[in-house]
Structure 1
């Protein structure tokens, strides 16, 4: 099966529309229809019903395989590219809140061991990093999130392996004069009437383990200093790692019940060179 046809198939399945898939892929709608017809002829079965556009049972089966096939093709391409790349290169993807002391110490160690090491740090959203590590675009990834103590982050099944590398208390970040600042501990379930800041690129609102919270402001950037400044100015509350809140003069951190901030390292099973050394150092630090 042609990978281009599989990409078109997934675009139609994801959008539920031939025209929307054409816009996503920057094809004409007739080209999308031709791709699907060619794929259906190759497999000898319809893959979509047309009104509405939904996958048939055969289409659902193909959908489960297609994404994995394309990921493996990208991984093969990236692996060949890595083999041709100059030695001493490390591409590390990280979410804005994933930078932690063990990470800084491990990078300092491998840079001291290899004076010619070229390190590229790429800040991105968590889902983007998971995909980039799975395909080999990034050598390693560092992602963060909030979870119950000692629980792993909820990451996609079948993706890169993950190991915990840092854990710190999660706190409710409030302005210095906020009425909650003197509390010894709060529970998120008691804060459904509060105004929150939704910051999908830094501290995703939707991933907090409680329903019913409402956002008063949305911040689409990835700068942690901006998010901290918004909280300090009274625009809403946020859940943040305790060390970040302690470092900001305008914020107070109120301890949260049954919640920690966790950083995990994402990797494949065949790293070499600096990536393997960084994984080794971070694994030993946990």
Structure 2
């Protein structure tokens, strides 16, 4: 196809051969093979060289488009040309905010942001090259990472208590984990077997909390409506989670202390990933995120050190 377009542009087999750095005989063989495949003549010999037939003129714009598609396909996977693909789990969480900051600091890097639910799905996508990196908590009990997957802790996100205006703790400036014993903390988004499920299981076991994951998960808006209207319920949310609710809800975000429970976010990637923007992302996260394992904080024992 490329040879056909070259001959059409040059108007001569010899000139096309020179442009393609091949012999004139090779050009003739390629055109003959293409004509056999198509069952039509594409060129006629003329005193000035090679002229397109009616069929050749009809075929030329399609040939050019095929070459453009081929070039775009190659460019999409060529190192440094395709976007950096990163899984942030959800659009409102801490990882999404980290990637927004990265995009602001490096607008020249093309990004594709995805949201994958299960850690197995994310790891499989990393190993297959479907994505370049994923934000996860690692490594929960019984869920070891494959040897070819690298990870680095990037941020510890403090938990906050979210209450409605009628809750018994709504007026508190902060609450301790001991203060929360006996209160109903409703979190329908906890799914057994997930990394955040393992995190909250350990939090309950460590501090004797009551976390309920009953009922369907209709999303954050429905959760906020319920918390606002139900004085007996509160919920946990990440301190870096971005949520907006109607002013009439009167919701309160209250820091949790003594100790501060933090959710550990790590970046996962394949150790052989060649994307040139991946080291830039790792360096950015290392340089811009606060210190980890601060005094007075709690995280599960299975969380890897930085």
State how many pairs are aligned.
Answer: 194
Please give the TM-score of this superposition, normalised by the length of structure 1: 0.55
- Measure the CA separation in 1 of the matches of 2:267 and 2:279: 12
Aligned to 1:264: 266
- Flag the 1:108–1:226 CA change in 2: closer, same or farther, 3 A: farther
Radius of gyration: which is bigger? 2
- 1:283 equivalent in alignment to 2:286: yes
- 1:158 equivalent in alignment to 2:136: no
- Flag the 1:252–1:113 CA change in 2: closer, same or farther, 3 A: same
Q: Structure 1 or 2: larger helix share?
A: 1
Aligned to 1:197: 187
- Flag the 1:216–1:142 CA change in 2: closer, same or farther, 3 A: closer
Aligned to 1:207: 199
Contact 2:185–2:236 (Cα < 8 Å) also in 1: no
Aligned to 2:4: none
Aligned to 1:113: 108
- The one of 175, 181, 186 aligned to 2:164: 175
Q: What displacement does 1:140 show?
A: 0.6
- Measure the CA separation in 1 of the matches of 2:160 and 2:102: 26
- 1:104 equivalent in alignment to 2:100: yes
- 1:239 equivalent in alignment to 2:239: no
Matches within 5 A, 1:243-254: 243-244=240-241, 248=245, 249=247, 250=249, 251-254=251-254
- Measure the CA separation in 2 of the matches of 1:134 and 1:254: 40
Q: What displacement does 1:180 show?
A: 1.1
- Measure the CA separation in 1 of the matches of 2:241 and 2:277: 28
Please give the TM-score of this superposition, normalised by the length of structure 2: 0.52
Q: What displacement does 1:93 show?
A: 0.9
Q: What displacement does 1:219 show?
A: 4.1
- Measure the CA separation in 1 of the matches of 2:139 and 2:229: 30
Aligned-partner SS, 2:95: coil
- The one of 112, 136, 142 aligned to 2:135: 142
Structure 1 unaligned regions, length at least 5:
1-80, 145-151
Over aligned residue pairs, what C-alpha RMSD do you find? 3.6
